[in-house]
Chain A
Amino acid sequence: MLRLVDVSHAYGDVVSLRRLSLELTAGEILCLLGPSGCGKTTLLRIIAGLERDYSGEIQLDGVDIRPVLAHERGFGLMFQDYALFPHLSARENIAYGLKRRGDNRRDIQRQVGDWLERVGLAGLGGRDVTALSGGQMQRVALARSLAPNPRLLMLDEPLGSLDAQLRDQLALELRTLLKAAGISAIYVTHDRREAYAIADRIAIMDAGSIQQCDSPRQLYHAPATGQVARFLGLRNLYSRADNAAIWKLAEQAGALRSDTQHILIHPRGISLGCPTAAPAIGYAATFLEAVFRGENWDICLRLEGDWQLTFSAREVPAQVGEPVRVFVALGCVLALAG
């Protein structure tokens, strides 16, 4: 549906996007996940038509949309700060795009009422938007961008300013709503939990380019580079400078390649007492510490050959300083390029 080819952009001397290519299929929710300043928002603004100085191609259903002005693209963008019009009520905000489209008054009234109900704001339409709570503002902004039935909806960190609990709840609601409307969406965030919850596919961005684009599950289980693994919060990532014992383990697992830069021991392959999957290698280890994380404990061990492993467990297996036996499934020893 949407296709970007070799898109590059710079703010003066600072390059924000480097020959970035990306595809989005109809009805798909794609998350752009990356640290602040990696070019996510710039990419959205280019797709929306708000940034004009870039090189590369952008096609919508095979048609080049570079000459099309922002107000003619029929795309929706939900801003990080919501950008609600402060002089208009919630209802008038939602109606804004419908009015510009030239819908008749009765239609607008009906659609706005519909949307208010769908986002759970029935009865609050007359409210001044400045008098709404953060969550309510987010819903008005969402309804406003969805009401004109955009061909593509872009969301720029739409839950960024909300507290963690509300963020989890709204992320789920958002996915349900987008899927029900069958809208293709690009969702920008720097929160991996939010990305996992909402996306069909996640594109990990760093320094203006896409490092990996896969389904959340695939991304988690097989990150392509050390940087992706780090960004996904995966621990037990080792570089060549680290202990030689780890590289020996990778060799035993048959994972090493010529371009290997990092070794990742995926947490799902680490277990105490007995192996989770065969083949596995057992190590004698010393229990270093356990950090309470609510549902789980973070367990840290020092292994023979003097290297460390960290993983989550439901129980604390031993006293600090006691010896334990740990198994690493060879299938979970990943060699990463880059």
Chain B
Amino acid sequence: MRLLLSRSGYALYLLPLLFLGIFFLYPLLTIFDISLRPGGALDLSAFGRLVSSNYYIETLLFTSYQAALSTGLTLLLATPCAYVFARYRFVGKSLLLSLATLPFVLPTVVVALAFAALIGKNGLLNDLLRALFSLDYAPIQLERSLGIILIAHVFYNFAIALRIMAGYWASVGFTTEEAARCLGASGWSLWRDIRLPLIRPALLSAGMLVFIFCFTSFGVVLILGGIRFATLEVQIYYQAVNIFNLPLAAALSIVQILSMLALMLVYTRQQRNLQLRLASSATIARSPRSAAEKVAVGCCVALISLLLLSPLVALLARAVLVEGRIDLSNFAALAEKSRASLLFIAPLEAIVNSLRFASLAMLAALLLGIIAASLINRHGGLARWWDALFMLPLATSAVTLGFGFIVALDEPPLNLRASWLIIPISHTLVALPFVIRCVLPAMRAIPPSLGEAAQLLGAKPHQKLLTIDAPLLGRSIAVGAIFAFTVSMGEFGASLFVAQRESVTMPVVIYRLLGDPGFASYRGALAMSVLLMLVCAGGFIFIERLRVAGLGEF
């Protein structure tokens, strides 16, 4: 990346910094301004309302409570599975791990709809039970309940917890456990005294990350829970869009931003601890021997298949099966502009929009991400600060970003509210940290001596960039590109705020179709969700194939 270091190249570094300044920091500051100085002078009444009203305090409490419950449930299920993954070798293990990671790239609206399709009032499971026991009511009543939110959160975050803990477990090994066994430990005492204390750093790290994701969960809570189960995110959206109380929405955003900063601070501290320990040697998994071990592996496989595949299968079945037969009319109907008043455009156009925006966001995120990564990769004390700066959008919820956009970029010279450009720009902001986290480790893994060797063999700076850096970074750049594309395709929170009539994207259309009571709308949402799921799953398969072992931080 020496080209970027040349004097003229320094100007390039300004690009991502300017982008971040204009499209991230400026909207964020505007939120602060609206909240703290709604009439131009300092006015803390919005905060006063927050603190004096039980309702908002309860919102914050509920946000934390549901995140804590989701985290607890996720860890409860993922911890034994992580042990099985670290300890045993079995057929289909890596495929299962890949499958378990698929939800990570699935849009929240798709996941929400998938769960509605599985355990909703008219879901597959209720249909099945009704038919089996000839019932005239739905036996599973989870719709608009905390339960369905928790289950969806577990679905989303299970793989993250599994990957972090299994990786850590494999690295610390099992010799301590074997020593404890020799000293007489077994069963529950082995878990309580040895295994859990041993993986505590990974448990805390995974728990913290899952908590952060659930704390900022928007699509799942909005669609599956509704306003009755409003979290901070949903409340910000509700206040800004439905009630148009911008100072209150801004005050809530500030609470959200500060909470996230505190959480991220704790998380990065834990992460450092985890990385130190991860340097230890890895152990090799073995085949399960005893019957109990085989049962444990079987349960783990069954749990993952059931938890992760059943909602997706239900979604697919609901979308393509009509009265037990395959019927693709749901998909054909996407081309019709039948619900013009609701959507303003035909659903098919939303697909074109999504593809267009995702391509643009991908290109922009790649360009800015590669430049930003090379800026961070430069040696010097500032590198850590640059890294933290570019990661900030990841620590800011998409709803806050979207809200910031509509309040900050609404007057000249940055009047983008009515422009479709605002969507790819917001997606670029969300995707940028992902691209950086894909490219930066690969950049760091290139020893400086390779570039120097090329130089001494006569390579000019641009030749070095083309013949050494580019091929070595190729895979990571490709992974970053697909990540950016899928993130953009599925982005919901910010899009819901900024998308205008003709520029709506697939997730927004799905949400709007769901808001319409008509059966045709529901089926349209199903069909579109399946399409979105296939695009994201396709992207995910590419990522899994391209990912270089040990590189990339996702």
- Majority DSSP secondary structure for residues of B touching A: helix
CA distance A75 to B457 in the complex (A): 8
Interface: B200 (CB within 8 A)? no
- Majority DSSP secondary structure for residues of A touching B: mixed
If the complex has contacts A86-B472, A100-B459, are A70 and B452 also in contact, measured as CB distance less than 8 A?
A: yes
Q: Mark B455-472, 1 if CB is under 8 A from A, else 0.
A: 111111001000110011
If the complex has contacts A81-B447, A100-B463, are A71 and B455 also in contact, measured as CB distance less than 8 A?
A: yes
Task: List B contacts of A100 (CB < 8 A).
Answer: 457-459, 463
Which chain A residue has the least Cβ–Cβ distance from B459?
A100
CA distance A85 to B454 in the complex (A): 9
Task: Check if A83 sits within 8 Å of B450, measured CB to CB.
Answer: yes
Task: Check if A96 sits within 8 Å of B467, measured CB to CB.
Answer: yes
Interface: A77 (CB within 8 A)? yes
Task: List B contacts of A79 (CB < 8 A).
Answer: 449, 452-453
Q: Which of A71, A81, A86, A87 has the most CB of B within 10 A?
A: A71
Could you say which interface size class chain B belongs to?
10 to 19
CA distance A155 to B459 in the complex (A): 19
Task: Check if A83 sits within 8 Å of B447, measured CB to CB.
Answer: yes
Q: Mark A45-74, 1 if CB is under 8 A from B, else 0.
A: 000111000000000000000000011111
Task: List A contacts of B447 (CB < 8 A).
Answer: 81, 83
Interface: A148 (CB within 8 A)? yes
Q: Mark B433-448, 1 if CB is under 8 A from A, else 0.
A: 0000000000000010
Task: List A contacts of B454 (CB < 8 A).
Answer: 85, 96
Task: Check if B456 sits within 8 Å of A85, measured CB to CB.
Answer: no
Which chain B residue has the least Cβ–Cβ distance from A94?
B457
Task: Check if B453 sits within 8 Å of A83, measured CB to CB.
Answer: yes
Task: List B contacts of A145 (CB < 8 A).
Answer: 456-457
Task: Check if B456 sits within 8 Å of A48, measured CB to CB.
Answer: yes
Task: Check if B472 sits within 8 Å of A87, measured CB to CB.
Answer: yes
Q: Which of B453, B457, B468 has the most CB of A within 10 A?
A: B457
Find residues 80-124 in chain A having any chain B CB closer than 8 Å to their own CB. 81, 83, 85-87, 96-97, 100-101
CA distance A27 to B381 in the complex (A): 44
Task: Check if B467 sits within 8 Å of A83, measured CB to CB.
Answer: no
- A97 contact from B449, B458, B468, Cβ within 8 A: B458
CA distance A86 to B454 in the complex (A): 12
Q: Which of A49, A83, A101 has the most CB of B within 10 A?
A: A83
Task: List A contacts of B457 (CB < 8 A).
Answer: 71, 76, 96-97, 100, 144-145, 148
Task: Check if A71 sits within 8 Å of B450, measured CB to CB.
Answer: no
Find residues 464-511 in chain B having any chain A CB closer than 8 Å to their own CB. 467-468, 471-472
Task: Check if A70 sits within 8 Å of B455, measured CB to CB.
Answer: yes
Task: List A contacts of B456 (CB < 8 A).
Answer: 48-50, 70-71, 73, 75-77, 145
Which chain A residue has the least Cβ–Cβ distance from B463?
A100
Task: List B contacts of A148 (CB < 8 A).
Answer: 457-458
CA distance A100 to B450 in the complex (A): 15
- B458 contact from A48, A71, A77, A86, Cβ within 8 A: A71
CA distance A126 to B398 in the complex (A): 50
If the complex has contacts A48-B456, A71-B455, A96-B457, are A81 and B472 also in contact, measured as CB distance less than 8 A?
A: no
Q: In angstroms, how far is the closest chain B Cβ from the Cβ of A210?
A: 24
Task: List A contacts of B472 (CB < 8 A).
Answer: 86-87
Find residues 9-30 in chain A having any chain B CB closer than 8 Å to their own CB. none
Task: Check if B449 sits within 8 Å of A83, measured CB to CB.
Answer: yes
Q: In angstroms, how far is the closest chain B Cβ from the Cβ of A304?
A: 56
Task: List A contacts of B467 (CB < 8 A).
Answer: 96
Task: List B contacts of A72 (CB < 8 A).
Answer: 458
Task: Check if B450 sits within 8 Å of A85, measured CB to CB.
Answer: yes
Task: List B contacts of A75 (CB < 8 A).
Answer: 456
Which chain B residue has the least Cβ–Cβ distance from A74?
B458
CA distance A81 to B453 in the complex (A): 11
CA distance A87 to B472 in the complex (A): 7
Task: List B contacts of A74 (CB < 8 A).
Answer: 458
Task: Check if B452 sits within 8 Å of A83, measured CB to CB.
Answer: yes
Task: List A contacts of B455 (CB < 8 A).
Answer: 50, 70-71
CA distance A70 to B450 in the complex (A): 14
Q: Which of A73, A85, A145 has the most CB of B within 10 A?
A: A85
Q: In angstroms, how far is the closest chain B Cβ from the Cβ of A145?
A: 8
Task: List A contacts of B453 (CB < 8 A).
Answer: 77, 79, 83, 85, 144
Task: List B contacts of A144 (CB < 8 A).
Answer: 453, 457
Which chain A residue has the least Cβ–Cβ distance from B451?
A83
CA distance A85 to B447 in the complex (A): 10
Q: Mark A256-284, 1 if CB is under 8 A from B, else 0.
A: 00000000000000000000000000000
Task: List A contacts of B449 (CB < 8 A).
Answer: 79, 81, 83
Task: List B contacts of A96 (CB < 8 A).
Answer: 454, 457, 459, 467
Q: In angstroms, how far is the closest chain B Cβ from the Cβ of A185?
A: 14
Q: In angstroms, how far is the closest chain B Cβ from the Cβ of A271?
A: 49
Task: List B contacts of A83 (CB < 8 A).
Answer: 447, 449-450, 452-453
Q: In angstroms, how far is the closest chain A Cβ from the Cβ of B473?
A: 10
Task: Check if A50 sits within 8 Å of B452, measured CB to CB.
Answer: yes
CA distance A75 to B523 in the complex (A): 70
Which chain A residue has the least Cβ–Cβ distance from B471?
A87
Task: List B contacts of A77 (CB < 8 A).
Answer: 452-453, 456
Can you list 10 contacts pairing A with B, beta carbon distance less than 8 Å? A49-B456, A50-B456, A70-B452, A71-B455, A76-B457, A79-B453, A83-B447, A83-B452, A85-B450, A87-B472
Other than the given A79-B453, A83-B453, A96-B467, 17 more pairs (CB < 8 A) read A48-B452, A48-B456, A71-B456, A71-B458, A71-B459, A73-B456, A75-B456, A76-B457, A79-B452, A81-B449, A86-B472, A87-B471, A96-B454, A96-B459, A100-B457, A100-B459, A148-B458
The 6 A-B residue pairs with the shortest CB-CB distance in the complex, in nearest-first order? A97-B457, A100-B458, A83-B449, A83-B453, A70-B455, A79-B449
